[in-house]
Amino acid sequence: MRARVHGVCGIALALAAGSAAAADSSVTLYGVADTYLQYLGNGGTQTFAMKSGGSTGSLFGLKGVEDLGGGLTAQFTVESGFNINNGGLFADTSTLFYRQSWVGLKDERYGSLTFGRQYDTSFRVAYPTDPFKVDETLSPFAAFVLTPDRNALSTQYDGARLSNSVLYQTPKLYGVQAYAMYAFSATVTQPVPATTGNVLNVGINYSGAGLYAGFAYMYQHPGEETITGLPGPLTLLGTEHFVGALAYRIGIVNLMANYSYQRANDPAPHTLAAVLGTAHSLSIAEVGATIQATSVDEIQLAALYRNVRGAHDNTPGFQIGADHWISKRTSFYVRAGYFKNNGSATVSWPGVSVTQAGTKQYMAALGMTHRF
């Protein structure tokens, strides 16, 4: 249940150390608790584990809105991910609000302008066309994007969020909405120490009459990262990203497709990226569907193909899932998937280390999600 607080009472006072809020302002505390049991077959090794965030990430957050008059509002969101099984921070243990942390203004006529750590435009375009909602642990699409690949270590990937960013969103007009985003250089320590360059990300989408369509373009300026075992820092090359997404609803079925292509600039001669061959381009294609079988049951289907250009490195895969709601806030889910790595490919679900290239990956999961 989402707790809404007005004025200077309740959670706004306790957590925001309470400056007085106007009667037309609000702060909302919200969250998700998600846990699941997983079986994984990883190159001949079988494991069973309890994990967090299989349907959607376990999280808690605060979001606030203040009416400034004349159709203008001030807004903010801070959102943290956590591991429900041990209480620790999820993904990046050095960052409290790694999921979202932004503040800005929204105008009914002119759109919104926000600043901070935010979901990028390419993610916003692709999200409605992944049956598994780009979940960070059990979405096969997320797995194909986030898996480190020795042939593409210098080709930058889209991590879905950008720090130090400025985002402008137009109002939706006849179903069309456009986005323009710019992010300044950022330094991280996890999963490996890295400094990223500035990022430009623009996109547009349309939704109406059962149809969704979107396109996004991103350019990431060069950076560098430090990987254990290499003689020095590895250059992250300037990388272009192209994303196209399409969905169409027919009755209880929502058909989905997306395609993304990452193209790195050529590395300078004799650099680590050139010598090690870590600057290959890659593409990911996904087709899928969700089926609203009953008012409380949804089925998900996805088939994907990941291909690293210029190398024997590709992975086809598929995944099925089902969600059953027992109330407005609580649901159970099952997932099952299969990846076939070929050549030097090492794709598996996020958080899984594949030590032997070219191995098959099997996964089955049973979980529970509660929203508040």
Q: What tokens does 245 get?
A: 């997404």
Range of the domain at 152: 3-371
- Cα gap 294→300, rounded to integer Å: 13
> In this structure, what are the phi and psi dihedrals at residue 276, rounded to the nearest 5 degrees?
-85, -10
pLDDT of residue 220: 98
For 223-258, the DSSP string reads EEE--TTSSSPEEEB-EEEEEEEEEEEETTEEEEEE
- Cα gap 164→185, rounded to integer Å: 7
pLDDT in tens, 130-179: 999 999 999 999 999 999 899 999 999 999 999 999 999 999 999 999 99
Strands 313-325 and 239-250: unpaired
Chain centroid to Cα 306, Å, comes to 17
pLDDT confidence tier of residue 125, bands split at 50, 70 and 90: very high
The number of folded domains in the chain is 1
pLDDT of residue 49: 95
* CATH code for the domain of 114: 2.40.160.10
- What is this structure's pTM? 0.91
Q: How far is CA 122 from CA 157, 180, 228, in A?
A: 11, 10, 30
Produce one character per residue of 309-318: b if its CB has 16 or more CB atoms within 10 Å, e if not.
bebebbbbbb
Residue 231 or 181, more confident? 181
Q: Is 55 exposed, middle or buried (0-12, 13-18, 19+ CB in 10 A)?
A: buried
Give every CB contact of residue 70 below 8 A, 6+ residues apart in sequence: none
Question: Is a pLDDT exceeding 50 seen at residue 11?
Answer: no
Strands 234-236 and 223-225: antiparallel
- Computed from CA positions of residues 167, 170, 172, 177, in that sequence, does the dihedral angle turn out positive or negative? negative
- Cβ atoms within 10 A of the Cβ of 52, count? 23
Helix (H) or strand (E) holding 180: strand 176-183
Percent of the chain at pLDDT exceeding 90: 85
pLDDT confidence tier of residue 350, bands split at 50, 70 and 90: confident
Sheet holding 234-236, edge to edge: 186-188, 194-196, 223-225, 234-236
Helix (H) or strand (E) holding 3: strand 3-5
